[in-house]
Amino acid sequence: MTDLPTVRLKPKANARAIRHGFPWVYENELVTDRRTKKIEAGSLAVLEDAERRPMGLVAVNPNSKIFCRMLDRNMDASIDQAWFEARFAKALDMRARLYDTPFYRLVHAEADGLPGVVIDRFGDTCVVQPNAAWADRLIEPMTAALASVIGVQNILKNASGRARVLEGLDEENTVLLGAAPSEPVPVVMNAATYMADLTGGQKTGLFFDQRANHGFAAKLSNGARVLDVFSHVGGFSLAALAGGATSAMAVDGSAAALGLAEKGAAAAGFEDRFTTRKGDAFDVLEALAQEGETFDVVICDPPAFAPNKPALEKGLRAYERVARMAAPLVADGGYLGLCSCSHAAELSLFRNASARGIGRAGRRPQLIHTGFAGPDHPLMPQLAESGYLKALFFRL
């Protein structure tokens, strides 16, 4: 690959961090000129340190603040179908050891050696989110490798999401192989059945990252009345019913998501114990308090209130508000689960905001468990952003 263009770090750039595994190079760390800025988005290049010593093969996008993403430390590597097959084989080996079901996150971006690429598996269908320009450019060998290694019949491209916008990419969803399922796909986790809409749902259709946290909440829910706020397709509420909850209410702003939750409850035989309430989560929390409602278990799993550092302070106030409004709905001795998928709100900040909100509600909490994303969402130690999910469970 000696015919590739080169990009070079500035003398003050942190070359040591990159050598120790940090996978990104920002625009302000590179020597940029007309030549480097003319490199097409998604092209491959050789990254050099300030002394012109090669550091690895990178994918380049002059349109992104993340100018380079490290692909391979081996200068002789060919980023082709065989290269993708090797990455997928390693990813599959770990998931096959962890799960006895073909439903999981197969590729978790940088942590699985495929920067910006997310792939969720739903049985014989994979949904790919190529959230970096290089992955869009090499989608054909990636698709061929995925079909070869995993053996799935259908591969869908999901182009939605903020990450692709930041990369300057399109938002067009397409079928890469086979066909899109005509109906929601039933996914069994924690003895609950979830209905995943792979073409019209949020993200890839289902959030596998909360699997372990759903299971923990289910342990608290035997004989309990449960409230699941920001429920999506019934993540915590359906798991709670499988765990023996006497009733569960799912609250979400999306009628479509609640409809899928109802189908999931019916598929598992829980429909007589399951109700939904459509509306803005904060409005519903306020209304339930005015109605004098209490629950034995309350779980709040909101969207990312702090998706980046500029939004951090506002996001932490929102998490505090969730805790303050949810805490009064928890019966004495009951449990409150609070979640954050904001990587900018690291654990201690999120925990402190949650504790402040509970305290402002006049409740005394015991923190009994801290959960994270499941092992099919591995964390890359050098990249804090890969460890985004936090779940705090309090007894009040």
Give the whole-angstrom CA distance, residue 22 versus residue 28: 16
Tokens 């092992």 locate to 375
Gyration radius from the chain CA atoms: 22
* Residue 341 annotated in active site: yes
> b/e map of 276-304 (b: 16 or more CB within 10 Å)?
bbeeebeebbeebeeeeebbbbbbbbbeb
Tokens found for residue 163? 């990450």
Bridge-based pairing of strands 125-130 and 154-157 is parallel
The answer to whether 103 touches 189, Cβ cutoff 8 Å, is yes
Give the whole-angstrom CA distance, residue 67 versus residue 86: 25
Would you please indicate which residues are annotated as catalytic (active-site) residues?
A: 341
